[in-house]
A and B are shown apart, each in its own frame.
Chain A
Amino acid sequence: MSDVEKTLVRVRVNGQPREALVEPRTLLVELLRDHFNLTGTHIGCDTTYCGACTVILNGRTIKSCTVFAPMAEGGEIITVEGLSKDGQLHPVQEAFAECHGLQCGFCTPGLLLSTVHLLSKTPKPTEKQIRKGIAGNTCRCTGYQNILKSIRAAAAEMEKR
């Protein structure tokens, strides 16, 4: 702990207003995990590389290990915990489960949010757009083929609905 004055951070997480008094150097991912107990957002590399900490802040994916918590003040945050509604998985989650788009699951929350963001901007992505859309998310198990398959399936399913 340092003697630096703490900062009050108020945000909405998955639709719920939340606040915490934190040291300014607290990272957004630590705010979510340690202060709000939302541990679905993972800390992978902690160096802006792997994307395991990806969340949606004000409609855009960001790496929450590379934003200080006070910078998110007033923001609207969606984490993996906010994807399912009334016990029903989000179509992107369903597609990842259906197509074996995960193995150990560590990178999955970040990939789910990157996919949700990609499909919100580009409902019918080309192969190239899909690859570019998840270039900031590293998976060390799958070899990506089933992830690509999951994203194609999710896009097709969401178009139907």
Chain B
Amino acid sequence: MYAHPFSYHRAGTLLEASKLLQQLGEEARLIAGGQSLIPLMKMRMARPRALVDINFISGLSDIRSRDGYLRFGALARHADIEASDAALSIPIVHDCAAGIADVQVRNQGTIGGSLAEADPSGDWGAVLLTLDTSVRCSRPSGERTIALDDFFKDAYTTVLGHDELVCEVIVKQPPKKSGGAYLAFKRSAPVYATASAAVQLTLEDSDTCKDARIVLGCVGLTAIRAKEAEKTLRGKKLDEQTMESAVEAARAAAEPQDDMRGSADYKRVLIAALVKRAIGIAMRRARGEQVEAQHEYVGR
């Protein structure tokens, strides 16, 4: 399949990329790994007149852990994150990186591109909303750092200006006695998930929840923070009944639509099951247990 014709521009620096976007106008788009954008262009659902390629900008793919923060360069590939020691320190980040699509897509796709594309079925948005995450962005008039909670506006839409680029994704290390899990359910490895649940908990003692974040993926126009469900857990003993109430609240927060991946009703059932299991794994991890969690598909 051929994409609509476009002119191609290679940026050597962040500033050059921004200036190219300004010159080329609103019909120009950035391209990083291209694993979301290129399929959309081939299906003609996206038809940019110009592409500004940022893959050749150096120093944008570092992964560092320092002073209580993990810092991912915008061009850090999912596979780099999967293999990094930094990601191992926050299990939910590793769960996500290690299971996005398949090896080939993880080798090419980037964390910055994934957030900037804001695909409603993207994995990183849901996962990083459970953590204190901010996005450092640059444009010719200067830099700004945006909390991820304020970053997504709608499906495929962020608050980024036309000439603005994501340059770094910054994740605060969760406090002690924290644990999280990301469960994405998909019908095979390479496809987008049918539904996904990201849960991050901090415990007061081994049973009581101090803080909770619950985010639902693929069941709305953006990843959805299930704030009522979080409230249900916060300050409570994590017994069966409390968890059931949280699961119910999460199910109510989902806004799924019928599509080729499943009916809305099916997705509501699925999201509830995923949230329940993710809470269980997050709790055990917060207690210091080593528990495996991964994207789920047939044949894994």
Contacts and interface: CB of A to CB of B under 8 A. Distances in A.
A21 to B, nearest CB: 12
Contacts of A48: 35, 38-39, 101, 105, 190
Interface string B278-297: 00000000000000000001
Interface residues of B, number: 35
Contact of B101 (A2, A4, A67, A136): A136
B165 to A, nearest CB: 17
Interface stretch (B6-14, B17-25, B152-160): B6-14
Contacts, number: 99
Contact of A25 (B2, B10, B300): B2
A86 B78 CA distance: 36
A49 B238 CA distance: 40
A47 B191 CA distance: 10
A48 B188 CA distance: 13
Contacts of A114: 103-104
A132 interface: yes
A72 to B, nearest CB: 9
B79 A60 contact: yes
A79 interface: no
A5 interface: yes
Contacts of A97: none
A14 interface: no
> Which of B7, B53, B104 has most A Cβ within 10 Å?
B104
B51 A62 contact: no
A25 B6 contact: yes
B119 to A, nearest CB: 13
> Which of B4, B42, B103, B297 has most A Cβ within 10 Å?
B103
A108 interface: no
Contact of A60 (B8, B101, B107): B107
B85 interface: no
B103 A66 contact: no
Main secondary structure of the interface of B (DSSP, over half): loop
Interface string B181-194: 00000001111000
Contacts of A2: 5
Contacts of A93: none
Contacts of A42: none
Interface in B102-128: 102-105, 107-108
A157 interface: no
A68 B51 CA distance: 10
B31 interface: yes
Given A4-B7, A51-B102, A135-B299, A66 B189 contact: no
Nearest to A56: B107
Contacts of B242: none
A131 interface: yes
Given A132-B300, A133-B103, A71 B79 contact: no
B3 interface: yes
B10 to A, nearest CB: 7
Interface of A: 2-5, 7, 23-25, 46-51, 54, 60-63, 66-68, 70-71, 73, 114, 117-118, 128, 131-133, 135-137, 144
Given A63-B108, A136-B189, 12 more contacts: A2-B5, A4-B6, A46-B42, A47-B39, A48-B39, A49-B191, A60-B79, A61-B103, A62-B107, A66-B38, A128-B300, A133-B103
Interface of B: 1-8, 10, 31, 34-35, 38-39, 41-42, 51, 53, 55-56, 79, 101-105, 107-108, 188-191, 297, 299-300
